[in-house]
Amino acid sequence: MSNIDKQALREVAEKATKGEWWSDVVDTDGEYGEGEDRVSGYHSYAVYVGHESLLDMINSTAACIHTEWDHDYHMAWDETAKRNAEFIAAANPDTVLALLDELEHYKSREERVTKLVLDNSASWDALYKKLEAAEKHIAELEAREVNLSKLSVGEVMHMSGFSRDYAEGWCAGNDNAIHEIRAAGIKVKGE
């Protein structure tokens, strides 16, 4: 509806006759037309608001598609007039106003969502940068190697000057630390 002046459409719909719109066919006994086009007992298609006729479309050459009778003895333009009357009744002011209200609702909703996205785009950018930095830091931590030397009990006793029991405990603790570090996915150098 971008090419339609919605405000102008709203104004004419608000000024139009209020009430329930409906269409009907009126059979007449009179004659209409001239010469070979003269028709007796023709149909008139009308649009009503309440019980008052709003629009009466009498068969006319302007609506005439051709002048042959169909199997129900109606002129071809009877169906055209009927379809037009039904459309006019369906496209009544209440329907037009409801469509415009719905359009305005969704337009307003779209504007609110767009504003929300734009308002939060800066914070999303900042969060995305923090996420990238955290992922990079995790990758760096996972790539680094821990340098733990695997020493013998004798080397520990010699370096520390402590007893054999102490050196064996230290070596067992060191082995356990290496095992846990590897289990965490960290590489161990010095083996």
Count of Cβ atoms closer than 10 Å to residue 44 Cβ: 19
Q: Which of 76, 91, 106 is the last residue of a domain?
A: 91
Shared-domain flag, residues 76 and 34: yes
Domain limits for position 155: 145-189
Shared-domain flag, residues 22 and 80: yes
Segment 91-126, tens digit of pLDDT: 888 888 998 999 999 999 999 999 888 888 778 888
**Mean pLDDT, range 135-145, rounded to an integer:** 86
Shared-domain flag, residues 22 and 35: yes
> Angle of helix 164-183 relative to helix 153-160, nearest 10 degrees?
120
Segment 51-88, tens digit of pLDDT: 777 777 665 443 333 444 555 555 555 566 677 777 78
Residue 4 belongs to some domain of the structure: no
Residue 99 belongs to some domain of the structure: yes
